[in-house]
Amino acid sequence: MSANELTPLDNALQHILDRAPVMSRTETVAVPDSLGRILAESLSVPADVPPADNSAVDGYAVCFGDISPGTPLSVSSRIPAGVAPAPLEPGTAARIFTGSEIPRGADAVVMQERVEYTDNMILIQSDVAPGQNIRRQGQDLARGDLALAEGARIRPQEMGLLASMGISQVLVTARLKVAVLTTGDELVDPGHPLGPGQIYNTNRFTLQGLLAQAGCELVYCETVRDTREATRQALATAAEKADLIITSGGVSVGEEDHVRAVLKASGGLSLWRLAIKPGKPLAFGAMNDTPVLGLPGNPAAVLVTFLVVAMPYIRKRQGRQDILPVGESLPAGFETGAASVRREFVRARKQGSPERPEVVAFPNQSSGVLSSACWADGLAVIPEHTTLRHGDIITFYPFTELLS
């Protein structure tokens, strides 16, 4: 197969992303149920956070002008958190706690460790500056500012931020409904004995886990027999239920590879064969207007192509801001032979000290060796037409980023 028959990965991604409309369906969920969801609207700050000046420490609220070195101050009041304080009496200090509102008349807080307390009097034993240990009103968020932008993915810290603004429910993009079709007469579900020529259906479970981490809803999952009619019927059924169909197998050039043939016959095949390794026989198209992403059949190739191609598509459909991963630049701890016309994604891991990290590759990069991905913690990229020497700088994508 010549190089001009393969679509470069960047071109393929652009083609696929241009055909990835953002989901129009939305739903409202409670903040405790919002983890991993994608905001469907931008949120402005409804009120200052914090709502008033408050103490950053346990200590004593004072007025800087009342402080005279060596002269004690009487403690005139006590301000626990959650209580509106009375104004500070001139020439005195107020006992205050972390998070308590600063009383009118005070302009500094002295840590309790910096005072000597005797008979309801304090002697300050350190320098004091106006504003010290005070968290100002609106320091975190000011009213009217943008708090979170549409397309933001809600993590635990966003959940906390929403709660800090008093928001109990948020509008999020509905989960993308995905159908998974695994193809092959040889496939058997785990828990059943294998007959001659049979293998366990690895890809079904890999894809289920990947889709769950991607925040999708699995609405249809079937193993499809190796016939043209069974493939056509399965794709048609999936198209009625899902926003996206993902298949594994059936997209190469063999006589039993029916997914590509059905899409081509229906006029829905728009992309086939990528300059990527593993994953060359990847197809993209539609069945009755429902997008179809046809992944290869080999287990490691399924994982790689899902992470590299399907995840950006899913993120775009979800309305996310971070569609493509960024990765990090690290020295290679391995070498390659002849350059390839395909961009290679090597199952690899980062090792070494924080000062001298490097990326090492699993020794067997066969597309059928899924154990390599269990050993690895990410994918290292070898660009097209490139040979790699030890120490060369390459891009490494951690699985945590690829799956986020």
Q: In the predicted model, is pLDDT for residue 3 greater than 80?
A: no
Q: In the predicted model, is pLDDT for residue 166 greater than 70?
A: yes
CA-CA distance, 167 to 179, in Å (whole number)?
A: 34
CA-CA distance, 32 to 6, in Å (whole number)?
A: 46
Global pTM reads: 0.86
State the average pLDDT over residues 120-132. 96
Could you give the maximum distance between any two Cα atoms of the chain, in Å? 95
Mean pLDDT (the chain) is 94
State the average pLDDT over residues 260-273. 92
Q: Band the pLDDT of 2: cuts 50, 70, 90.
A: very low
State the average pLDDT over residues 180-195. 93
Nearest C-alpha neighbor of 64 from the set 134, 136, 135, 140:
134
pLDDT in tens, 368-387: 999 999 999 999 999 999 99
b/e code 206-226 from CB counts within 10 Å (16+ = b): bbeebbeebbbebbbbbbbbb
CA-CA distance, 78 to 94, in Å (whole number)?
A: 6
The phi, psi pair for 100, rounded to 5°, reads: -75, 145
State the average pLDDT over residues 269-288. 95
Q: How many CB atoms lie within 10 A of CB 137?
A: 18
